[in-house]
Amino acid sequence: MQQLVFEMHCLRHWGSRKAIFLLSTLVYHLLQRDFLLPTVNRCCRKYVLVSLEVYWAMAFILPKGIIKEIIKRLRTFLWKGTSSSGYPKVAWEVVCRPVEEGGQGIKDIFALNRALMCKHLWAVIKQDRSSIWVDWILQVRLRDCSIWTVKENKGAWGWRKMLTLRHTLLSQIHFQVGDGCSFSLWHDPWHPLGPLIIRFPRGPQLTNTGLLDKLNVVLTNGQWNWPMITNIACLEITQLLPQVSEGTDRIRWKSNDGAFTTTAAYKLFHPPGSKVVWASLLLGPFKIPKNCFILWLAILGRLSTLDKP
């Protein structure tokens, strides 16, 4: 198994057939471990699946081909275990719904993987240099730009795919302008128009500012102090300036406490659905998991009977 993990880390392209084959083999070995005996009931399998999903989803950004293979293995394990008999009684899409919405609370691995990758991006946005990976990204990948303006066609495959998530992430982030010492004048989306360098490529020349200047070059005593703009195209910059707050620049998640959570990011890729009226029958501290699972199948009309094996 250690050899399999080593080979997967050495792969340059995660969408290749070799990657899918190696991952399939590794998932198979994980599901065949001694602690997953055929006697393990289906309720315990559900908790095993949740753990495996989190393990894979937080390590790398996964290609769709690999996600399909993981789902295939996990679905087979849920309904068959390590035996050869059994078949899926409920669609995997339904299984991945929260219990309140009629599912089993297993996370959708595609949405979970993207949400956990957003967590890595959030660390880059907040410039959390306690992480070696974040510090390397800031010094190498983002040396002359920001996470918002770096091109998606450069770097490793995983990095390029992570960059495709930033637009979804940006819709939930609020940039609060303070002293202007942290935000990049042209590369950070502190302005309602987004990163100014994208909309105004010649902005630094027309405003006599530097491409890598911080926002404080156009702030004086907490007030905007832009150079005289003679170009009509750039006048839009000064017409939509946000309010300046006291203190330092802040990046906040659009929530009550302003903190990023994986749960909130997960909902961006897997929006909540309508709740079912019978969810209370399956929820509670004194419910027996095995009985709840059987009741869930019965409510959905998927319980094996003499008329419907």
Instruction: Decide which of 100 and 67 is more confident.
Output: 100
DSSP letter for each residue of 235-300: HHHHHTPPPPPSSS-EEEESSSS----HHHHHHHHS---PPPTTGGGT-STT--HHHHHHHHHHHT
CB 114 within 8 A of CB 264: no
Six-digit token string for 2: 């250690």
CB 103 within 8 A of CB 94: yes
The residue assigned the tokens 């637009």 is: 167
Report the pLDDT value the prediction gives residue 84, as an integer from 0 to 100: 60
Note the pLDDT tens digit of each residue in 97-113.
999 999 988 889 899 99
**Burial level of 13, CB count in 10 A (0-12/13-18/19+)?**
exposed
What is the spatial distance between Cα 31 and Cα 52, in angstroms, rounded to a whole number?
A: 9
Report the pLDDT value the prediction gives residue 32, as an integer from 0 to 100: 53
Report the pLDDT value the prediction gives residue 24, as an integer from 0 to 100: 56
Note the pLDDT tens digit of each residue in 160-196.
999 999 999 999 999 999 999 999 999 999 999 999 9
Note the pLDDT tens digit of each residue in 69-127.
878 877 887 887 666 666 888 999 999 999 999 998 888 989 999 999 999 999 999 99
The mean pLDDT value of the chain amounts to 82
Q: With 70 as the cut, is the pLDDT of residue 46 above it?
A: no
Q: With 60 as the cut, is the pLDDT of residue 298 above it?
A: yes
Instruction: Decide which of 128 and 82 is more confident.
Output: 128
Report the pLDDT value the prediction gives residue 50, as an integer from 0 to 100: 60
What is the spatial distance between Cα 268 and Cα 271, in angstroms, rounded to a whole number?
A: 6
Q: What is the mean pLDDT of residues 214-225?
A: 91
CB 59 within 8 A of CB 37: no
Note the pLDDT tens digit of each residue in 13-24.
444 555 555 555
pTM above 0.85, yes or no: no
Specify which of 6-10, 95-99, 155-159 reaches the highest per-range mean pLDDT.
95-99
Coil/strand/helix, residue 214: strand
